[in-house]
Amino acid sequence: MTEHDTHADTRAAMQAYGRRARAAARLMRNASGRAKAAALLAMAELIEARADTLKQENARDLEAGRNSGLADAMLDRLTLNDKALAGMVNGLRQIAAMDDPVGSLGPTSIRPNGMKVAQMRVPLGVIGIIYESRPNVTIDAAALCLKSGNATILRGGSEAFHSNQALGAIIQQGLAQAGLPADAVQVVDTTDRAAVGEMITLTEYIDVIVPRGGKGLIARLSSEAKVPLIKHLDGNCHIYIDKAADPGKAHDIVVNAKTYRFGICGAVETLLVHADIAASQLPGIAATLVSKGVELRGCERTRAILPTTLPATEDDWLTEYLEPILAIRIVDNLDAAIAHIERYSSQHTESIVTEDLAAAARFQREVDSSSVYVNLPTCFADGFEYGLGAEIGISTNRLHARGPVGLEGLTTMKWVLTGEGQLRG
C-alpha cells in the first residue's frame, strides 16, 4: 500500500469514528443518570472479572516497550498491576456515585412580561481525547465524558495499544449492558500517527478535544487544530512571601509546594520574598529545601543572604522546572511581586503568604492566573482538591473551562425560556 493510500484510509477511518460518535452523542444526550451510572458500575465489575486478561494484554505492551528501550519511568506509568486496576475501579465507582450534571437548571429569572428565563446544563457533544502512555486515562476520561452525557473518541499512545484495546472492549461491553450505545466510547484502533492530525480537524464530528501530554505535543496540536482544545500548557507557579507573612506558615507552604511532588504542574518554581523579611525567613526555608535535595538559584540579593546559592538568570524566571530546583527573588513590595508574576508567570497557579487582609485581597484580585491562593501551597492545583469530584485535566485556556476541569467543563449551557404566549414588539 502506498503512503497516499494509507493516509486516505486513515482519514476515512477517522471520519467513520466521527460519524459513529455523532450518532451515539444524540442518544447519550438524553440517556438517564441511572443508565449512565449502571454502565460505569458494569465497567468496574468487568475490570475486576477480567484482571488477568488485562494484565496479559498489558504484558504485551510492556514487552514491546522494553524491547524498544522505553525508560523505566515510562514503563512504570504503562504498567497495569493490581494497584492500578483497583485505582480504575475506585474511580469508576466514585464517578458513578456523583450527581448527573445533565439537565440541571440554574436560577430562573422572570422578565417584566412574565416569561421565565433559565439555563440548562447539557453535554458538549463529542469529545476527543489524545493522550500518551498511561492506560488509566482510557478509563478515567471515558468515565467523565460518559457521566457528562458525551460521546468520546479516545486516541492513546501506541505504547499502550493492547492495554487500551482491552480496556475499550470492557467499556463498550459495560455500555451495552446498561442499554447505552457502544459507540458512545470508541478507542481508536490504528497506531498511524496521521490519525491524530485527522482528529484535530474533524470539526463536523468532534466538538472539543482534550489533549494530554507534554508541552511539545500540546503546542503542536494547538497550532494545527481546527477543533477547539481544552488544553494545558505551562505551570510556572509562584509563591510570594509578604512582609506580613506568618513565618511558620511561609516555611511549611513553600516546602510543601516544592516537595509534595516535583513533577506536577502545581509545584512552585519561583519564590518571591519581601525584602524586609528575607534575611529572617529565607535561611530556614532554604535549609529545609536543601536537606530535601532541592537546588536553589537566587537573585543577587538572595545570594547575599544565602551565599552558596547559584545565580538565577532570566531563563530561570521563565522555566517550569518540574524538578527539585527553586528560583528565588527578593522583591521590594507587593507591587513588585505582582509585576514579576505578570511578566514571567504562565498564569496557572500563584499564592501569597500573608496575614494582611488588604494585601491578600489585592493579590487575589490583581493576579491574572487561573488559580490564585492565599496561605496555601500551589500544589493544591487539582480538581479533587477543589471539590470537583474528578478531573479531566487542568486548563490554561481563558475561554470556557479554566483551571481544574471536572464534569462541568465537559458540558455547556442552553437557554430555556417558558411563557404563556407572550409576543415581542
Q: Which is nearer to its own copies, 170 or 254 (CB)?
A: 254
Measuring CA to CA, which residue among 379, 380, 404 is closest to residue 267?
Answer: 379
Q: Which is nearer to its own copies, 139 or 405 (CB)?
A: 405
Q: Which is nearer to its own copies, 69 or 112 (CB)?
A: 112
Least CB distance from residue 233 to its own copies, whole Å? 12
Only segment of 140-148, 169-177, 243-251, 276-284 that touches its own copies (CB under 8 A)? 243-251
Least CB distance from residue 187 to its own copies, whole Å? 24
Provide the mask over 149-188, with x wherever binding to its own copies is found by CB under 8 A and - wherever it is not: ----------------------------------------
Binders of its own copies in range 245-274 (CB under 8 A): 246, 248-249, 252-253, 256, 260
Binders of its own copies in range 345-374 (CB under 8 A): 360, 364-366, 368-374
- DSSP label at residue 110: E
Judge contact between 103 and 121, C-beta under 8 A: yes
| Alpha-carbon distance values, 39 to 91, 104, 190, 393 (Å) | 13, 21, 25, 23
* Residue 122, CA atoms < 13 Å, CB-side half-sphere: 15
Binders of its own copies in range 270-299 (CB under 8 A): none
Dist CA 242 CA 228 (whole Å): 39
Dihedral (Cα; 25, 27, 33, 36), 10-degree rounding: -70
Only segment of 9-17, 58-66, 93-101, 385-393 that touches its own copies (CB under 8 A)? 385-393
Dihedral (Cα; 52, 53, 58, 62), 10-degree rounding: 70
Binders of its own copies in range 397-416 (CB under 8 A): 398-400, 402-404, 412-416
Least CB distance from residue 248 to its own copies, whole Å? 8
Least CB distance from residue 151 to its own copies, whole Å? 13
Least CB distance from residue 244 to its own copies, whole Å? 14
Least CB distance from residue 408 to its own copies, whole Å? 11
Least CB distance from residue 69 to its own copies, whole Å? 33
Measuring CA to CA, which residue among 243, 278, 238 is closest to residue 254?
Answer: 238
Dist CA 143 CA 88 (whole Å): 10
Contacts 24+ apart (CB under 8 A), 222-228: 224/197, 224/200, 225/200, 225/201, 226/200, 226/201, 227/128, 227/199, 227/200, 227/201, 227/202, 227/203, 228/400
Name the residue with cell 468515565: 143
> Is residue 73 classed exposed, middle or buried when 0-12, 13-18 and 19+ CB atoms within 10 A define those classes?
exposed
Provide the mask over 112-131, with x wherever binding to its own copies is found by CB under 8 A and - wherever it is not: ---x-x--x-x-xx------
Q: What is the total count of residues that contact its own copies (CB under 8 A)?
A: 64
Q: Which is nearer to its own copies, 246 or 356 (CB)?
A: 246
Taking CB under 8 A as the rule, does residue 99 contact its own copies?
Answer: no
Provide the mask over 24-63, with x wherever binding to its own copies is found by CB under 8 A and - wherever it is not: --x--xx---------------------------------
Q: And the C-alpha cell for 201?
A: 480537524
Q: Which is nearer to its own copies, 148 or 309 (CB)?
A: 148
Q: Which is nearer to its own copies, 1 or 110 (CB)?
A: 110
Least CB distance from residue 182 to its own copies, whole Å? 21
Compute how many other C-beta atoms are within 10 angstroms of the C-beta atom of residue 242: 26
Convert 407-421 to b/e letters by CB count within 10 Å (16 or more is b). bebbbbeeeeeeeee
Residues near its own copies, by CB under 8 A: 26, 29-30, 103, 109, 111, 115, 117, 120, 122, 124-125, 207-208, 223, 226, 228, 246, 248-249, 252-253, 256, 260, 342, 360, 364-366, 368-377, 379-380, 385-387, 398-400, 402-404, 412-425
